A and B are shown apart, each in its own frame.
Chain A
Amino acid sequence: MAVALVLVLIVVGSVLFHLLSPWWWTPIASNWVYIDNTIIITFWITGVVFAAVVLFMAYCVFRFRHREGNRAAYEPENKRLESWLTIVTAVGVTALLVPGLFVWSRFVNVPSDATEVEVVGQQWQWSFRLPGKDGKLGTSDTRDVTTDNPLGVIASDPNGQDDVLVEAADLHLPVGKPVKMLLRSIDVLHDFYVPEFRAKMDMIPGSVTYFWFTPTKTGTFQVLCAELCGQGHPLMHGVVVVDTQQDYLAWFGQQQTFAQLSAPQQTGAADNAPGKTMAPAKTIAPGLKIAAKLETVGSR
């Protein structure tokens, strides 16, 4: 009796928790409403199955609990029933998979009018690179990373000269314009994740990965690293500001290009970026280096 009752309470409690608890996703700020919808479909289908199975169990435990003189039925198989259940399950699974794959094909196929933005992760900060007037990002290589060229832009590539660099600072994006985020890391795995955008992707040193989205709301959003990247991982926060077109252009105009930053007289200005303070790192023992680094991240 008690067992059957507890099973019913688990179903009722879980459903009520789902409906009434204050813990739910953040308001969406991108075009990936499709993903939210797929999650809702999944909640419905799985919720019905969960309730059905557990309530059926509760009924069985109540109805067929042992009493004196009871004897179980003897029924090794029931092919008809088993086939029906298999078919119903297959239909349910298809109902989940088809919309899922449909949305995935949207997710991986970037619209042709998307502008490219590069995100570079390193322990434990975010930097960004935007194409300049030519609309193209220059090539890059981790082996070219130096104190003066922290993102490893290949200096000999003319496309890279007018690239706008945003080092360890906020990224701004214009609202309503699709962006393709090109993701790169110069040390370990990271993952660029903004909960409100619903999208994320790992960044792998040596490769360029991507995802795309269209910001649909202006505002300030927090970037979280979603792939364990060492002890500074939980502090690797960043900021994306989604601006109106006007504000965006104003911000963009204030940024410096790779050519400007590489020019000798300009290097002093960038020395305040946390990445730069590590320049003489080679002389410090590794442990101290990490501690210093963590402090830099922590104080931001």
Chain B
Amino acid sequence: MVDITPADGIPPAEVAEVELYHPHSWWTRYVFSQDAKVIAIQYSATATGIGLVALVLSWLMRLQLGFPGTFDFITPEAYYQFITMHGMIMVIYLLTALFLGGFGNYLIPLMVGARDMVFPYVNMLSYWIYLLAVLVLVSSFFAPGGPTGAGWTLYPPQAIMSGTPGGQDWGIILMLSSLILFIIGFTMGGLNYVVTVLQGRTRGMTMMRLPLTVWGIFTATVMALLAFPALFVACVMMLLDRVLGTSFFMPAISEMGEQLQHNGGSPILFQHLFWFFGHPEVYIVALPAFGIVSDLISTHARKNIFGYRMMVWAIVGIGALSFVVWAHHMYVSGMHPYFGFFFATTTLIIAIPTAIKVYNWVLTLWRGDIHLTIPMLFALAFIVTFVNGGLTGLFLGNVVVDVPLSDTMFVVAHFHMVMGVAPILVVFGAIYHWYPKVTGRMLNEMLGRFHFWVTFLGAYLIFFPMHYLGLMGVPRRYAELTDMTVMTESAHHLNSFISIMAFIVGFAQMVFLFNLIWSIRHGREAGGNPWRATTLEWQTPQTPPAHGNFGKDLPIVYRWAYDYSVPGAKEDFIPQNMPGSFGPSREPA
């Protein structure tokens, strides 16, 4: 049974208001700004810029796979550099930075009813260190030997050996340095997000009244703070192996008839450290997407999110469980085979809270009043691709099924569907949703619908058939698919088709970028709350919100974030800061 509490119970404020930092010049207002909203835009713009580089790299590798032998400049060496940089940029420098640095910075203070992040100066430093990390990463394209081609997983020993591009040149050193910088920068931002959610909430904003967007970003940040240190030490240790000749990850090696000066290290230790970070990383990207998509669906279906408490506990549960499943990336790594029993069990258990989230999204649609706005379209597309990608995870997580499929194109298709396409669709949905708040204008509807259909259907056509290449046994990370018995003539045709779809989907993103820029000046005026949403960011006195977010007085929160279509209320939404009772509120306590 649902607990019934009065809607106007207001717990006292957790912290008193503090004096806000005020900028004194153009530089401190727009460049070295301590305002979380400006930092969010800086993060988003930088992430988008470097993301475009990764997009171009994906075109280059698809040129090679779709039309082998046609493009001479794509040597195996270059191909491995493309895939490595594409993967690393997309996972770390685009998705992590955009969800946490971009959406986290913009939305957390506004949604919890704070004037800014708790530590604005550290927040600013976080961005500038992130920018430095991106610049170091980009510099490797211009370094002698080019960027590293070790694969985004950077597995030693090959990552630091001469048979791998950048292994004995600057590539790997710059990559590891850039990751170390990224983690330092992220930690500064991450501590901010966590403390702001815990300590910066306005009066009445209890944890169980937070929008799921905040829950998703908050949990992901806590996870990132626990997971990134593992990557950090792994990077430092590999850097020592490479530069000072230590042997953390390097056993005795005979490279092309030559004995290397390493002995006694463990390559598999790196894999454990990497995936102890790497698996939570999947959810660091996914949980903010889960949270945001919940709010998109609820707002645009004009219905409360179904099973809010379950949704919160599912987010927390997934976050916790994701720390004990990492070795499912290592079933065929040669680790002790008995680990397989444990990690397959934990991995399949994580499917249960994940499935609950999916059920609750679709049950939110049930008996809703579904407005097929662009954010809603992206949310629906997210559910399709996420369910698809999640279900193929049940293949790869189930240890023995993983044996034939691991390291094949099936894996590539799976993780692109579940942590590439699905979260990116949420990013798009979120941008169409919040762009009016950030700029005061709507994005162009027609361009948006074009962008949606091409991106969604195109991405599905790229990655759904790709699973079957993997099922045939086509390995991933092959720069050349020649002289292989598994590569039938028709499989080559399928690869060409996938490549053509990739160019089309990439082109649609240019339309999106044009829309982003064009609409800043030419978009329809949005007003303060165009979607008639309940959460606090839509209740600001100015749009875009001014420095300090909420004018003279901070809002007081009287209800949860999902009072849509409350029986007895005149409007089909009641903002969180609206006092008074409209019939019995059935907000779960």
> Which chain A residues have a beta carbon within 8 Å of chain B's beta carbons?
3, 6-7, 10, 14, 17, 21-26, 32, 34-35, 38-39, 42, 45-46, 49-50, 53-54, 56-57, 60-61, 64-66, 70-79, 81-82, 85-86, 89-90, 93, 96-97, 100-101, 103-105, 107-108, 122-124, 141-143, 145-147, 152, 183, 186-189, 191, 193, 195-196, 198-207, 209, 211, 221-222, 224-235, 237, 275, 278-279, 281-282, 286-287, 289-290, 293-294
Contacts and interface: CB of A to CB of B under 8 A. Distances in A.
Nearest to A88: B355
B77 A233 contact: no
Given A22-B490, A89-B351, A281-B257, 4 more contacts: A42-B395, A45-B394, A74-B304, A152-B254
B546 interface: no
Contacts of B340: 104, 108
B150 A228 contact: yes
B372 A65 contact: yes
A96 B352 CA distance: 13
Contact of B398 (A7, A38, A221, A237): A38
A59 B310 CA distance: 24
Nearest to A60: B365
A41 B310 CA distance: 29
Contact of A231 (B80, B263, B486): B80
B403 A35 contact: yes
Contact of B465 (A21, A103, A206, A230): A21
A61 B332 contact: no
Nearest to B583: A74
B581 interface: no
| Pairs of residues from A and B, 6 with the lowest C-beta to C-beta distance, nearest first | A195-B473, A206-B251, A230-B163, A209-B334, A108-B337, A72-B303
Interface string B346-378: 001101100110111011011111111000010
Given A23-B465, A72-B369, A195-B473, A97 B345 contact: yes
A24 B308 contact: no
Interface stretch (B10-18, B233-241, B548-556, B564-572): B564-572
Contacts of B150: 228
B556 to A, nearest CB: 22
A279 B76 CA distance: 25
A228 B158 CA distance: 8
Contacts of A201: 332, 334
Nearest to A229: B158
Contacts of B162: 286-287, 289-290
Given A46-B391, A60-B370, A76 B345 contact: no
Contacts, number: 358
Contacts of B490: 22-23
B309 interface: yes
28 contacts: A26-B486, A42-B394, A53-B383, A57-B362, A57-B380, A57-B384, A66-B372, A72-B369, A73-B368, A74-B586, A76-B586, A81-B363, A90-B352, A100-B401, A123-B255, A142-B253, A187-B253, A201-B334, A222-B486, A226-B407, A227-B155, A229-B163, A231-B76, A231-B163, A231-B165, A234-B76, A234-B479, A234-B480
B516 to A, nearest CB: 24
Interface in B476-497: 477-481, 483-486, 488, 490-491, 494
Contact of B252 (A56, A143, A183, A211): A143
Contacts of B405: 39
A49 B394 CA distance: 12
Name the residue among B1, B151, B367 with the largest chain A CB count within 10 angstroms. Answer: B367
A104 B149 CA distance: 33
B77 to A, nearest CB: 5
Given A89-B351, A123-B256, A230-B163, A191 B480 contact: no
Contacts of B263: 143
A7 B165 CA distance: 44
Nearest to A73: B367
Contacts of B304: 74-76
B120 interface: no
A206 B473 CA distance: 28
Name the residue among B400, B471, B572 with the largest chain A CB count within 10 angstroms. Answer: B400
A7 B162 CA distance: 49
B166 to A, nearest CB: 11
Contact of A186 (B80, B253, B338, B363): B253
A228 B365 contact: no
Contact of B401 (A39, A56, A233): A39
B579 interface: no
B25 interface: no
A61 B372 contact: yes
B253 A46 contact: no
Given A35-B404, A82-B310, A189 B478 contact: no
B586 A60 contact: no
B19 interface: no
Nearest to B265: A206
Name the residue among B265, B301, B384 with the largest chain A CB count within 10 angstroms. Answer: B384
A193 B32 CA distance: 53
B102 interface: no
B268 A200 contact: no
B182 to A, nearest CB: 23
A72 to B, nearest CB: 4
Contacts of B491: 23
